[in-house]
C-alpha cells in the first residue's frame, strides 16, 4: 500500500463516517456505526460549546437537527470550527427552525 493508497483509504473511511457514504471494505459495519456516532457527538458538543444559544433555543430538538445538518454538511478542512457552527445556525434560520437573528448591537 503506497502513501497515495493509504491517503485514499483514510479519505474513504472519513467519507463513510461523516457522510454515510459506502463502507470501506473489510471494516466491521457495527464498529463504523459506533465511530460515526462518536464523531457526530464530538462535533455536536463542540458546536454547542461555541454557540450555546443554539441548544438553548432548540432544546431537545438541537440533537436531531444538528445530526441532520452534519450528515448533509460534513465539516471540511477549509472551514474553521466557529464558521461551521455559524453555518449550522444559518441553516436553522433558512429552514425556519430559528427566527432570523436581529443585528447584534454590540458587535464590533
Partner 1 sequence: MGVTGVVERLGVGIGWRPELDLSIARMRGVDWVEVVAENLHARHLPDSLVALRERGMPVLPHAVSLSLGGAEPLDTTRVEHLAEVARALDAPLASDHVCFVRAGGLDSGHLMPLPRTREALDVLVANVRTAQSIVDVPFALENIAAVLQWPDDELTEEQFLTELTERTGCLLIVDVANLYANARNIGTDPVAFLDGIPWERLAYVHVAGGVERDGVYHDTHAHPVRREVLDLLAELRRRTDPPGVLLERDDDYPTDSELTAELAALRTVVSA
Q: Which residues bind partner 1 (CB under 8 A)?
A: 1-15, 17-18, 25-28, 31-32, 34-35, 38-39, 42-43, 45-46, 74-79, 81
**Three-state secondary structure call for residue 107:** coil
> Taking the complex as a whole, how short is the minimal distance between the CB of residue 78 and partner 1, in angstroms?
7
Q: What angle do CA 102, 47, 55 make, to 5 degrees?
A: 60
CB of 10 to partner 1, least distance (A): 4
> How near is the Cβ of 55 to partner 1 at its closest, in Å?
14
C-alpha span between 37 and 35 (Å, rounded): 5
Amino acid at each position: 500500500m503506497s502513501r497515495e493508497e493509504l491517503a485514499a483509504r483514510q479519505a474513504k473511511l472519513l467519507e463513510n463516517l461523516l457522510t454515510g457514504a459506502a463502507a470501506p471494505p473489510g471494516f466491521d459495519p457495527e464498529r463504523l456505526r459506533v465511530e460515526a456516532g462518536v464523531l457526530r457527538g464530538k462535533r455536536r458538543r463542540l458546536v454547542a460549546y461555541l454557540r450555546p444559544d443554539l441548544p438553548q433555543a432548540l432544546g431537545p430538538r438541537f440533537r436531531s437537527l444538528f445530526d441532520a445538518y452534519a450528515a448533509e454538511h460534513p465539516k471540511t478542512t477549509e472551514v474553521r470550527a466557529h464558521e461551521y457552527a455559524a453555518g449550522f445556525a444559518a441553516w436553522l434560520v433558512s429552514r425556519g427552525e430559528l427566527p432570523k437573528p436581529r443585528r447584534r448591537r454590540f458587535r464590533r
